[in-house]
Structure 1
Amino acid sequence: MNEDTFEEIFSLKLNLMNVFVVVTISSILLIGITTYIIAFTPLREYIPGYASTKLKREATILAVKSDSLELEVKRNEAYIESIKKILTGDLEYAQFNKDSIISAEVLETEKLKLEAAAEEMKLRDQVALEDKYNLFEKAESKVELVLFPPAKGHVTEKYSSKNKHFAVDIALAKDTPIKSVANGTVIFADWTPSTGNVIIVKHKNDIISVYKHASSLTKNQGDVVRTGEVIALAGSTGRESTGIHLHFELWKDGYPIDPNQYIDFE
Structure 2
Amino acid sequence: MEKKKRRKEIKRKLLHKYRLVILNENTFEEKISFKLNRLNVFVTGTLAAIALIALTTLLIAFTPLREYIPGYSSTALKRQATLLTYKTDSLVNALTYTNRYLENIRSVLTGEVQTSQITSDSIFEGMKIDPSQVDLNPIREDSLLRAQVALEDKYNLFEQPTFDGSVLLFTPLTGSISQGYDPDHQHFAVDIVAPRDTPVKAVANGTVIFSEWTAATGYVVIVDHQQGLLSVYKHNGSLTREQGAVVRAGEVIATVGNTGELTTGPHLHFELWKDGNPVNPMNYIDFN
Length-normalised TM-score, structure 2: 0.64
Distance in 2 between the 1:58 and 1:108 partners? 45
Relative to structure 1, the CA distance from residue 102 to residue 226 in structure 2 (aligned partners, 3 Å threshold; closer, same or farther) is farther
Query: Which of 112, 116, 120 pairs up with 1:96?
Result: 120
Indicate the residue corresponding to 2:222 in structure 1: 200
SS across alignment from 1:151:
coil
The AA in structure 2 aligned to 1:221 is Q
The corresponding residue for 2:260 is 238
Q: Is the 8 A contact 1:209 1:249 kept in 2?
A: yes
Q: Which amino acid aligns with 1:175?
A: D
Pair 1:105 & 2:128 matched: yes
AA partner of residue 187 (structure 1)? I
Tell me the equivalent position of 2:284.
Answer: 262
Matched, 1:166 2:191: no
| Matched pairs, number | 221
Q: How far apart, CA to CA, are the structure 1 residues paired with 2:284 and 2:90?
A: 38
Task: Within 5 Å, give how 1:60-139 maps onto structure 2.
Answer: 60-91=82-113, 92=115, 93-97=117-121, 102-103=124-125, 105=128
Distance 1:143 1:95 in 2: 12
Residues 146 and 182 in structure 1, CA contact (< 8 A), matched pair in contact too: no
Distance 1:47 1:219, change over 3 A: same
SS in 2 for 1:162: helix
Question: Within 2, Cα distance between the matches of 1:193 and 1:51?
Answer: 59
Per the alignment, residue 46 of structure 1 pairs with 68
* 1:42 alignment partner AA: P
Could you tell me which amino acid in structure 1 is paired with residue 176 of structure 2? H
Report sequence identity in percent: 50
Query: 1:4 & 1:204 partners in 2: Cα distance?
Result: 97
| Alignment check: 8 A CA contact 2:165 2:284 kept | no
CA 1:106–1:61: 2 relative to 1, 3 Å: closer
Q: Note the residue ranges of structure 1 that are not aligned, 5 or more in a row.
A: 10-28, 110-137
1:222 matched to 2:241 = no
Q: Please say which of residues 237-246 and 153-162 is displaced more in the overlay.
A: 237-246
User: In terms of Rg, which structure is larger?
Assistant: 2
CA contact (8 A) 2:207 2:223 kept: yes
Residue 191 (str. 1) matches residue 216 (str. 2): no
Please tell me the residue identity of whatever aligns with 1:155. I
> 2:204 & 2:58 partners in 1: Cα distance?
69
Match of 1:147 in 2: 169
Task: State the distance in 1 between where 2:82 and 2:129 align.
Answer: 45
- Indicate the residue corresponding to 1:13 in structure 2: none
Counterpart code for 2:119: Q
| Structure showing the higher helix proportion among its residues | 2
Unaligned runs of 5+ in 2: 1-20, 35-50, 133-153, 155-161
Separation in 1, partners of 2:196, 2:177: 16
Which AA in structure 2 matches 1:96? S
Aligned to 1:178: 200
C-alpha separation in 2, matches of 1:248 and 1:4: 112
Q: Within 2, Cα distance between the matches of 1:50 and 1:4? A: 51
Cα deviation for residue 63 of structure 1 reads 1.2
Describe the SS at the equivalent of 1:248: strand
1:33-76 C-alpha deviation (Å, 9 max, x unpaired): 87875566411223577432122112211211111111011101
CA contact (8 A) 1:184 1:226 kept: yes
Which residue pairs with 2:150 in the alignment?
none
Aligned to 2:146: none
Q: 1:34 to 1:237 in 2, by over 3 A?
A: same
Q: Which string of whole-angstrom CA distances, capped at 9 and with x for unpartnered residues, describes residues 221-254 of structure 1?
A: 2222111111101111122222211110011121
2-structure distance, mates of 1:68, 1:107: 31
Q: Which contiguous aligned blocks of 4+ residues in structure 1 show a shift greater than 3 angstroms?
A: 1-5, 29-41, 46-51, 101-104, 106-109, 141-145
CA distance in structure 1 between the partners assigned to 2:226 and 2:278 by the alignment? 16
Deviations 1:64-107 (A, max 9, x none): 11111110111011001011001101113422249xx9556387
Q: What's the TM-score, normalizing by structure 1?
A: 0.69
The whole-number CA distance in structure 1 between the counterparts of 2:174 and 2:79 is 61
